[in-house]
């Protein structure tokens, strides 16, 4: 088993608040609290096991690259790129030079040509390491990905397909809830190999029905392998007293404030590469009808390569867009008992860097404007 990398850093945090729905309902509240804690405990254990496997995979990655180019050559490549960055590509201080950007572009171009010469001296073709980087990047991304639900019950539905009674606000037989909601829950876990600790902001606000997060990962001195694995959950929830036993038919009206990615990549060496994935899901849990969360991917982004100081950015969903989500639980909920229903976001941000600098920002922000429930 490989030892943990010396620059490996991790952090986890978790919080929730769930007041009882009324007098004499302490048993139901305690049960839901227990489920929240058990789900979080299971996620931390899963993360611990994946980190061990990730460390082994990173060690294999390094060994494969070293075998390909030779240890002496690989050290020479990494040392060359590190020295170029630290010396501003040989220019030192550019802050007071009006022609600084032009000089920097010229110096970077010369450094890039020299990096290609170093590859040729090692009898390697430019781009010859990319297949190795891409293969291991995919293996690591697959490893760190959560297990997808066996059955996709949560669906994104066009507003035209929402039942007319909901669109006109008819509350019979529907039960509707709007902010403020009853409870909230959030958690995050991150592990980084190099770079700065991610800067995190939670958009959770139970009074307004706001969910989502912002994360930024900066790494301006990436070595032979650096990376980030971040997961962030937020949710709001409501208590629901069903009119009878049965499956819950629910509709969620969500307004997207931001679904934006911005990824700056820099350092175009002949041996460098990178992969940055951002994925966001809307999640639903109905206790006790759904043991695990149902989720549906709302948006994703993927930026890769080793460009010369280029930023990839976009709003994947137009700001202020309204999306509807629909779910029918597979298992029924009992009559004569409180059910807790939570709706939220699960966001995953991963960056894998091979001698590439980055500033990667993910913003995912929604308002849960309406919740509609019926029991079939």
- pLDDT tens-digit readout, 271-293: 899 999 999 999 999 987 666 78
Percentage of the chain exceeding pLDDT 70: 94
What are 217-260's pLDDT values in tens digits?
Answer: 999 887 789 999 999 999 999 999 999 999 999 999 999 999 99
Supply the pLDDT for residue 302: 96
Q: Is residue 5 over pLDDT 70?
A: no
Q: Is residue 4 over pLDDT 60?
A: no
Q: Is residue 3 over pLDDT 50?
A: no
Residue 219 near residue 193 (C-beta atoms within 8 A): no
Interatomic CA distance for residues 62 and 90, integer angstroms: 28
Residue 318 near residue 335 (C-beta atoms within 8 A): no
Average pLDDT over residues 303-324: 94
What are 16-30's pLDDT values in tens digits?
Answer: 999 999 877 888 888
What are 164-210's pLDDT values in tens digits?
Answer: 999 888 888 899 999 999 999 999 999 999 999 999 999 999 999 99
Percentage of the chain exceeding pLDDT 90: 62
For the entire predicted model, the pTM comes to 0.92
For the chain, the domains span 150-375
Instruction: Please list, in sequence order, all residues whose beta carbon lies within 8 angstroms of the beta carbon of residue 241, skipping any fewer than 6 positions away.
Output: 21, 338, 339
What are 87-103's pLDDT values in tens digits?
Answer: 777 777 666 666 777 88
Mean pLDDT of the chain: 90
Instruction: Give CA separation, 273 vs 43, 134, 151, 224, 227, in Å.
Output: 30, 8, 35, 10, 12
Nearest-5° Cα angle at 350, 252 to 82: 155
């Amino acid at each position: 088993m490989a030892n943990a990398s010396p620059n490996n850093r991790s952090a986890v945090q978790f919080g929730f608040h769930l007041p009882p729905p009324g007098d004499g309902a302490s048993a139901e509240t305690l049960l839901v609290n227990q489920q929240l804690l058990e789900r979080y405990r299971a996620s931390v254990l899963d993360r611990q096991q994946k980190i061990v496997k990730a460390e082994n995979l990173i060690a294999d990655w390094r060994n494969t690259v070293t075998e390909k180019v030779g240890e002496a050559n690989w050290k020479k490549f990494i040392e060359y790129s590190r020295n170029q960055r630290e010396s501003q590509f040989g220019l030192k201080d550019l802050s007071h030079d009006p022609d600084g950007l032009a000089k920097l572009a010229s110096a970077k171009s010369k450094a890039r040509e020299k990096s290609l010469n170093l590859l040729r001296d090692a009898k390697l073709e430019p781009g010859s390491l990319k297949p190795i980087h891409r293969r291991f990047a995919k293996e690591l991304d697959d490893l760190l990905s959560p297990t997808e639900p066996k059955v996709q019950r949560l669906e994104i539905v066009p507003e035209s397909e929402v039942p007319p009674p909901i669109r006109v606000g008819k509350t019979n037989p529907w039960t509707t809830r709007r902010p403020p909601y009853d409870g909230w829950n959030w958690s995050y876990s991150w592990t980084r190999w190099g770079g700065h600790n991610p800067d995190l902001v939670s958009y959770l606000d139970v009074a307004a029905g706001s969910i989502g997060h912002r994360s930024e990962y900066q790494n301006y001195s990436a070595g032979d392998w650096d990376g980030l694995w971040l997961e962030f959950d937020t949710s709001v929830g409501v208590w629901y007293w069903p009119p009878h036993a049965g499956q819950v038919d629910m509709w969620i009206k969500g307004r997207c404030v931001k679904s934006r990615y911005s990824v700056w990549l820099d350092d175009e060496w002949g041996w460098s590469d990178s992969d940055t994935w951002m994925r966001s899901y809307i999640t639903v849990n109905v206790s006790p009808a759904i043991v695990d969360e149902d989720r549906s991917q709302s948006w994703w982004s993927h930026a890769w390569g080793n460009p010369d100081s280029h930023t990839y950015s976009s709003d994947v969903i137009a700001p202020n867009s309204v999306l509807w989500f629909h779910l029918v639980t597979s298992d029924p909920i009992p009559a004569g008992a409180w059910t807790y229903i939570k709706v939220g976001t699960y966001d995953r941000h991963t960056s894998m860097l091979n001698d590439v600098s980055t500033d990667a920002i993910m913003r995912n922000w929604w308002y849960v404007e309406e919740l509609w429930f019926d029991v079939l």
